[in-house]
Amino acid sequence: MSTNAVGTRFWNRDELYEDVWNKPLTALVSKYGVSAVAIGKTCRKLDVPLPGRGYWTKKAHGHPVVRNSLPKLHEVPRIVRHQRPAVASVPSPVPKPEFPVAEEDKTEIARIDQLLSAGAFVSKKSRKALRHPLVVAARNILRRGYARRQLLEAPWNEPCLDVSVSKASLSRALEIMGAIIAVLEANGVKVRVMPADRSYGGRSNETSATVFGESIQFNVLETTRKVRVLDTTATPDASGRQRYLTLYEATGELLIHVLSHSRYFRTVWRDTEQAKVESFIPECIGSIMKIGVEYRRNTAKRLQEEFFRKLRWEELQDLKRQIDAEEARIQRLESGANSWHRARRIREYVLALVDCRTQQGKELGRDTALGKWATWAMQQADRIDPLTERPSSILDRKWELEGWSPYGYR
């Protein structure tokens, strides 16, 4: 193989000749990244002789074989070597982390595992489970319900088990749901049907199991696949291509889905080639119980965080009240100091002005204009000064003008 300056790779005739006579074509697939048929076609284009039929069998048994020589070419053709892109390996699903069991939850988790291993979560009375009121009501509602994308849906105003399957799979789905309900109630777990939040176009109803005071939702679903069929009623488009419709087809594959999110426990079980989903019911029950333990711990943790957050908020609220009171005191202090400085400046100004006017020959007396003005000015300074008694003034009646205007009383 040779490469030019641009990076394009070409087949190397001499190297290819040595390879095809040292190994079978099927053994060269990994080296060249193409099939054995493609290698053979390249040999014919480059006039590279290939071993004949039985060559490798004779060589393996020690019989003499003849190796054809590489013919000389006046001009060797340059053939670009195309290599199939490497197929990315499908990543395996990341396993969920192990549940960090707290000390108070170890006993409960151990009890659930013990019940699971002892077969306590296996449904033993299937006929009785089918007569459960929730199962009977769901059967009556879904049989007369409407199908959307081949799956039956219950009316939004009728409480029904969260079962979304085709009509052909309805009986089996109700048997699965009845078995789950029977096992849960046999272990002291209450199952009920509640209206779901349809604000964002979600499900009409939800099936909820109350485990350790926590609500765990689950349902039974059937998978569907899209099918493109020719639309015989539509005319071809401008280019003559036929129009197709996208329909949905029920697969008959059922799955149990625990809708309550869990970071540590499995939430989906589906039909496989080896086993039906009915065989996973005990494991599903055990997971629902453990998710209840997880939710109970999360609820206790959330309540504890809310409690300490409330205490911190009250502490900060009291701190804010103290800071506001201190800032108000500082503001009053600064305001009093500023008022005291203003009053002192006014008094100094009045004394300086009176001294200036007396030097100019003005008479200073109680009844003189200068004396009356000096008395009034000193009163204004006393009104500003926080250290003296505040004299009365006409300005004290200013509040009486609230609501008055020159155009009438408002």
Q: Which position has the higher pLDDT, 5 or 340?
A: 340
Strand partners, 164: 221
Q: Are 221 and 257 in contact (CB under 8 A)?
A: yes
Does 407 map to a domain?
no
User: CA nearest 209: which of 170, 169, 164, 177?
Assistant: 177
Domains identified in the chain, total number: 2
Most confident of 74-88, 343-357, 389-403: 343-357
pLDDT at residue number 100 = 67
Distances (CA, A) of 250 to 135, 170, 346: 22, 12, 96
Do 196 and 285 belong to one domain?
yes
Do 192 and 249 belong to one domain?
yes
Matching residue, tokens 């003849």: 66
Q: For residues 158 and 170, what is the distance between their CA atoms, to the nearest angstrom?
A: 18
pLDDT at residue number 2 = 58
Does 395 map to a domain?
no
Q: Which of 267-281, 302-316, 328-342 has the lowest mean pLDDT?
A: 267-281
pLDDT at residue number 254 = 94
Q: Are 298 and 265 in contact (CB under 8 A)?
A: no
Tens of pLDDT, residue by residue over 250-264, are: 999 999 999 988 888
Domain assignment of residue 20, given as a range? 2-60
Q: For residues 154 and 138, what is the distance between their CA atoms, to the nearest angstrom?
A: 8
Tens of pLDDT, residue by residue over 80-116, are: 877 666 545 545 556 666 666 677 788 888 889 898 8
Do 178 and 238 belong to one domain?
yes
Does 120 map to a domain?
yes
Domain end position, chosen among 23, 43, 60 = 60
pLDDT at residue number 90 = 47
Q: Which of 13-27, 70-84, 217-231 has the lowest mean pLDDT?
A: 70-84
pLDDT at residue number 94 = 61
Do 114 and 44 belong to one domain?
no
Do 41 and 132 belong to one domain?
no
pLDDT at residue number 46 = 87
Q: For residues 163 and 151, what is the distance between their CA atoms, to the nearest angstrom?
A: 9
SS3 395: helix
Q: What is the mean pLDDT of residues 175-193?
A: 93
Does 206 map to a domain?
yes
pLDDT at residue number 85 = 61
Region at 361 (left for phi over 0; alpha for psi -120 to 50; beta for the rest): left
**What's the angle, vertex CA 201, arms to CA 198 and CA 205, rounded to 5?**
45
pLDDT at residue number 137 = 92
Q: What is the mean pLDDT of residues 371-393?
A: 93
Q: Which position has the higher pLDDT, 102 or 293?
A: 293
Do 156 and 219 belong to one domain?
yes
H/E/C letters for each residue in 322-378?
HHHHHHHHHHHHHHHHHHHHHHHHHHHHHHHHHHHHHHCCCCCCCCCHHHHHHHHHH
pLDDT at residue number 241 = 85
Burial of 212 (0-12, 13-18, 19+ CB in 10 A): middle
pLDDT at residue number 4 = 56
What whole-number percentage of the chain has pLDDT above 90? 47
Average model confidence (pLDDT) across the chain: 87
Q: What is the mean pLDDT of residues 31-54?
A: 86
Domain end position, chosen among 255, 275, 304 = 304
pLDDT at residue number 217 = 93
Do 239 and 154 belong to one domain?
yes
Domain end position, chosen among 258, 281, 304 = 304
